[in-house]
Structure 1
C-alpha cells in the first residue's frame, strides 16, 4: 500500500526520538555526585512520556493534539532545565574539586555539553513555526510566526543551483536535524552561524545556550591545563 501525500510530507519521528534517548542516556550516566534522584526522575518521566507520543505517531508525525503538544514540549524543556542543574553542579565541582577528580569531571562536562545541544535542539524544534506537525501541514499563510530564519528561507533569488533548494520553490521546512545542527554550532561558536533568531524567546534560548557553553569551555580548559601541571 502506498503512503498518502500527507504521510509522505510528515517528518519522520526517528531522528528526534533517537536524539532524546541519547540525551537521556548521557544524563542518566552522569557521575553519582550529580544528585541521582533528579537524574533518574527526569529519565523516568522522559521514557514514560515517549510512549503515548510514539503511539500517536509511530513513524511519521502527521497528527497532533493539545496534550501531545504539551507533553512533547514539556519533555524538551524539562531536559533543558535538568541539564542546567547538572551544569551548575558541574561548575561547582570543577572549581572546588581536587586533581584526582579531573578526568571524571572532564567526561561529565562532555556529557552535559552534548545533552544540552540535543535538549536545546528539541526545544527549538518544538517552538519554531508551531512545531513539527504544523510546519509540515499548515499553509504558509496560516503558519505561526517563525522563531528562526534559515538560509533556505531567503535563497529564492540566488543563482539557479542554490535557488532550486529554497523554501519558496520546494516548500522546504526545517526538520529535527536542522535544529540540531544550529544548536551544535551555536554551542561551539557562542553566536548564530547560518540560522538567525527572530523572536525574543529564540534569542533568549540561544543566549542561554551560548553562555553556558562558553562558561563550560573556559572551565574545562582551565581544568585540563591544571591536570597537565
Structure 2
C-alpha cells in the first residue's frame, strides 16, 4: 500500500467500548454475571492490554497470536452478554423477587440490552471479511456485509472500509428495527447472526417492558 492509500483503523474506538462492556457487570446484580462480577471484565481487560501491547495505535499487524487474542476478546464479551440475557429471560419467565421492582428491572434490562448490542457489534466487526486487519491488508471483492459505501462507491472516498463504529451502528439498528436497515447481510453466517440478534432483542425488550408495565400498573 502506498503512503497516500487508506490507513488502518485506530484501536481507540473499539477499546473504549471494551471498557464499557467491562463496566456493565458492575452495574448489574451479581446473578447476571457468570462466576463473579469481576471475572469476565478481568479477562477482557487482560486481553485488551495484550492487544494494545502487540498491536498499538492502528490495527494493522497480522499474525496468529494477534488474531487469537482478538477472537478471545470477542468470545469473552459475547459470553457475558449471553449469560446476562439468558438469566434475565429466565428470571422474567419463572419469577424472581429481584425483578419485582419496575425501576430496577428497567435499568437491568437496558444494561443487558446494551451489552448484547456491544457483543454483536464486536462479532460483526471481528468476523466480517476476516476482521479489521484482513480488511485493511487484503480487502475482499465479495464482502460478508455490504455497506452503502461499498454498493455505491460514489458515496465515499476511494478505498473506504467500515470501522468499529459502523458495526456498532449496524448492531444498534438491527436490535431496534429487528431487520437489516442500510447494511445488507450477504454471507449466511451474518444472516444467522443478525436473525439471532433480532430474536434476542425482541424477547428481551418485550419481556422487560411487559413486566415493567405490569408492575407499574
Please state if 1:117 is matched with 2:114.
no
The answer to whether residue 137 in structure 2 is matched with residue 137 in structure 1 is yes
Deviation of residue 117 (structure 1)?
0.7
Alpha-carbon distance between aligned partners in 2 of 1:30 and 1:6, rounded to the nearest angstrom: 46
Corresponding residue number in structure 2 for 1:192: 180
1:158-173 mapped onto 2 (5 Å cutoff): 163=154, 165-166=155-156, 170-173=158-161
Q: Deviations over 1:139-187 (max 9, x none)?
A: x4xx37521011111114xxxxxx1x34xx6110100000000100000
Return the offset for 1:62: 1.9
| 1-structure distance, mates of 2:158, 2:9 | 15
The equivalent of 2:128 in structure 1 is 128
Distance 1:29 1:60, change over 3 A: same
Provide the TM-score with structure 1 as the length reference: 0.86
**Preserved contact between residue 145 and residue 190 of structure 2 (Cα < 8 Å):** yes
Structure 2 contact 174–194 (Cα < 8 Å) conserved: yes
Q: Does 1:97 align with 2:87?
A: no
**Residues of 2 paired with 1:128 and 1:137: CA distance?**
14
- For structure 2, list consecutive stretches of 5 or more residues without a partner in the other structure: none
Report the equivalent of 1:155. Answer: 152
Deviations 1:24-61 (A, max 9, x none): 11133211232462542211111111111001222111
TM-score, normalization by structure 2 = 0.90
Query: How far, CA to CA, are the matches of 2:81 and 2:34 in structure 1?
Result: 13
Paired with 1:35 and 1:14, the residues of 2 have a C-alpha distance of 26
Equivalent residue number for residue 206 of structure 1: 194
- Equivalenced residues, count: 214
Residues 1:225 and 2:194 are matched in the alignment: no
Report the Cα offset of residue 196 of structure 1. Answer: 1.0
Report which stretch shifted further, 58-67 or 9-18. Answer: 58-67
Give the deviation of 1:123 after TM superposition: 1.1
8 Å Cα contact 2:101-2:215 kept in structure 1: no
- Higher Cα radius of gyration: 1
Aligned residue for 1:60, secondary structure, equals coil
Deviant stretches of 4+, over 6 Å: none
Contact map agreement 1:148 1:196 (CA 8 A) in 2: yes
CA contact (8 A) 1:130 1:144 kept: no
Where 2:121 maps in the other structure, the secondary structure is: helix
Aligned-residue CA RMSD (Å): 2.1
* Distance of 2:68 and 2:15 partners within structure 1: 16
**2: distance between equivalents of 1:7 and 1:41?**
41
Stretches of structure 1 lacking an aligned partner (at least 5 in a row): 157-162
